[in-house]
Structure 1
Amino acid sequence: MMMEVMICDHFRCSPLSILSSYRSSFSPSTRYPLSVPSYSSSFRLKPSPSSSLSSSRMEETQETHDHGRSKFIDFPFVSAAQKNLMVELVSRLEDRFHSQLLPCTLPPDVQYYQSQTGTAQASLHIRSATDDSPVDFVLGSWVHSELPTGGSLDITSLSAYLNNSTDAPNFVFEMIRSSPTMLVLILDLPPRKDLVLWPDDLKTFYEGTQLDTHRQALERVPEVQPYFSSSLYIRSVSSPTAIMVRIVTENGGVERMEEIIRDHLDPISKQVLGIWLDHCACAQRDVGEAERAYLKKRDGLIRNKTIEIDLGSSFPRLFGPEVANRVLEAIKGYFTV
């Protein structure tokens, strides 16, 4: 029987996607990784170049960053092809903004956390950027949750949020795996302005970059089917070139899924990230005060909706109230515009 995942409806507007609910028709499967994003307000440190942090504090911050990053970049539950893709995407994004990204200052129990029973585990890695960067923060995560019926649910995600010094789209990437032979891919550059009111943005970011050709290429793979969120809100905030697909390889098995990830998802994901880096994040944009105010309001509404729609209910179910409250408080700090 085909397994189907009910994916939480906030994932299109943020990289914090977790499965809000899932049906009881999961069959046993081998473990694959799941990724979940989290954030922290009290530890969101943005020192200026003249900041006089003590050397011991700087060493402690760097040690915390290095330990958390190694935990995150390990992607311990995913297949080889999925891990290779995630590591490459993270590396390319970090390399491009190397001098602008600050160390991750989330506390250790937010960078890695698990439920009391150990059936759910997650790693979160968030890096703020310097004040002169168009990047607000970069977020990567994985989440692994054992299913009551056997097998596991795994999500790996990477996303980048821009600040209101630019009106370019954000970047969202997420792979959700409910079995070795079923995967949902979310890959999008969600617009931060109404494309009807700003048609030049539609031409600049989506038509001129030929983003839709990548979605079309992927949907020509026989095992790839369109995925439609049950939330009309999610559909309304996604871009017209969004890649939202479900891949099922029951006939070809795990080997075929690995082949699709390696030969199709890998190159397409890297190309889309490259477009975002060259034409969105690193492009010079002239944003006036009125537009900055608009972006701040819209970004804030969408980020608040992310927490409201899913995290407040799904986190306690997965990790218990104590862990959920700690992580949610950290997330809210980064999602505050």
Structure 2
Amino acid sequence: MYSLIRMKPEQLMLLSISDQASNPLRVLILNSNFESVGISLKYKKTEKTLLLLINQEQIDFILGSWLHCELPSGGALNITSLSAYLNSSTDAPNLLVELIQSTPTSIVLILDLPHRKELVLNPEYLKTFYEDTQLDQHRQHLQKLSEVTPYFSSSLYIRSVVSPTAILVRIETEQLEEMIETHVTPIAKQVLKTWLDVCAFGERVVGESDRVYLKKRDEMSKKKTIEIDLGSSLPRLFGEETAKRVLEALREVF
């Protein structure tokens, strides 16, 4: 679940839709006029809150969602995600955070700063945002743990847009809460700090032709991500009618 701090009503669009009491769905959409966002993630009795102080001149769009669906086989599927998109005044990477849990002893973590320029053609970009920041050390740390295995998205598109330092892992352990407290939370905070310091608050000189390219690429990326992420899962989890209402609201924002 997401909660907000110092938000004005006109700056927030919150959809809260449920086909039944056991299957709530909340999607949070923020425009570029906000000042800060508080993210509260609840896991069992533990609640973690992160406060993002955003340079609103460079933020284009933030999408947060929390999905809970009871499974026919028993248990529940919980998906918590946050995507932050920068605008064309900077070419710095965006932010992607997603947690997927379907059993009490396992969780999938996706944590990345997706690139917005082609890395082969722009080695300086690769060096600035991924090498100098040492982001890959976090992925290496997690993959050394015996409880952690690589996670591969079924979507070829998602696998094509994540960065070389992306964390896509599955964690399986009876001590899941301790694993999150000891390993996942510190890494998530470090990645978030890197994104704020280097990307959201960083200064980049972007030419007019590059701005046109970035705007076109970002629009396509946002629409494709929504189509693949929510567009494919919502009808299956919540039915066609609920999915249609949510996707129509998202299209209005885009």
What's the TM-score bracket when you normalise by the shorter of the two chains? 0.7 to 0.9
- Residue matched to 1:128: 31
Paired with 2:10 and 2:202, the residues of 1 have a C-alpha distance of 24
CA pair 308-122 structure 1, distance change in 2 beyond 3 A: closer
Residues 11 and 33 of structure 2 are in contact (CA less than 8 Å); yes or no, is this contact kept in structure 1? no
Residues 225 and 245 of structure 1 are in contact (CA less than 8 Å); yes or no, is this contact kept in structure 2? yes
SS in 1 for 2:187: helix
Amino acid at match of 1:283: G
Amino acid at match of 1:215: R
Query: Is residue 181 of structure 1 aligned with residue 105 of structure 2?
Result: yes
Paired with 2:31 and 2:108, the residues of 1 have a C-alpha distance of 28
- Residue matched to 1:145: 69
- Residue matched to 2:200: 281
Paired with 2:81 and 2:229, the residues of 1 have a C-alpha distance of 16
Measure how far apart 1:310 and its partner are. 4.3
SS in 2 for 1:72: coil
Residues 119 and 146 of structure 1 are in contact (CA less than 8 Å); yes or no, is this contact kept in structure 2? yes
Paired with 2:129 and 2:75, the residues of 1 have a C-alpha distance of 40
Query: Is residue 113 of structure 1 aligned with residue 20 of structure 2?
Result: no
- Residue matched to 2:2: 72
- Residue matched to 1:199: 123
CA pair 314-157 structure 1, distance change in 2 beyond 3 A: closer
- Residue matched to 2:219: 300
2:242 alignment partner, one of 291, 302, 323: 323
- Residue matched to 1:247: 171
SS in 2 for 1:195: coil
SS in 1 for 2:91: coil
Measure how far apart 1:124 and its partner are. 2.0
Paired with 1:141 and 1:213, the residues of 2 have a C-alpha distance of 28
Which aligned segments of 4 or more residues in structure 1 are displaced greater than 6 angstroms?
Answer: none
Paired with 1:222 and 1:135, the residues of 2 have a C-alpha distance of 38
Measure how far apart 1:287 and its partner are. 0.5
Paired with 1:324 and 1:232, the residues of 2 have a C-alpha distance of 23
Paired with 2:2 and 2:157, the residues of 1 have a C-alpha distance of 30
Paired with 2:126 and 2:105, the residues of 1 have a C-alpha distance of 35
SS in 1 for 2:12: coil
Paired with 1:185 and 1:313, the residues of 2 have a C-alpha distance of 19
Measure how far apart 1:102 and its partner are. 7.9
Paired with 1:213 and 1:241, the residues of 2 have a C-alpha distance of 8
SS in 1 for 2:82: strand
Query: Is residue 226 of structure 1 aligned with residue 155 of structure 2?
Result: no
Answer with 171-180 or 306-315: which moved more. Answer: 306-315
CA radius of gyration, larger in: 1
Answer with 299-308 or 323-332: which moved more. Answer: 299-308
Q: Normalised by the size of structure 2, how large is the TM-score?
A: 0.85
Please list, as runs of the form range in 1=range in 2, the aligned pairs for 1:4-43 lying within 5 A after superposition.
Answer: none
Measure how far apart 1:156 and its partner are. 1.2
Residues 214-272 of structure 1 show CA distances to partners (whole Å, capped at 9, x for unaligned) of 111111221011112233322211100000000111xxx2xx10011000000000000
Alignment length (residue pairs): 233
SS in 2 for 1:210: coil
**Root-mean-square deviation over aligned CA pairs:** 2.2
CA pair 216-333 structure 1, distance change in 2 beyond 3 A: same
Query: Is residue 262 of structure 1 aligned with residue 181 of structure 2?
Result: yes
Paired with 2:112 and 2:251, the residues of 1 have a C-alpha distance of 23
SS in 2 for 1:106: strand
Residues 211 and 241 of structure 1 are in contact (CA less than 8 Å); yes or no, is this contact kept in structure 2? yes
- Residue matched to 1:165: 89
Residues 103 and 128 of structure 1 are in contact (CA less than 8 Å); yes or no, is this contact kept in structure 2? no
Residues 104 and 125 of structure 1 are in contact (CA less than 8 Å); yes or no, is this contact kept in structure 2? no
Fraction of identical pairs, as percent: 57
- Between Structure 1 and Structure 2, the one with more strand by share is 2
Residues 223 and 247 of structure 1 are in contact (CA less than 8 Å); yes or no, is this contact kept in structure 2? yes
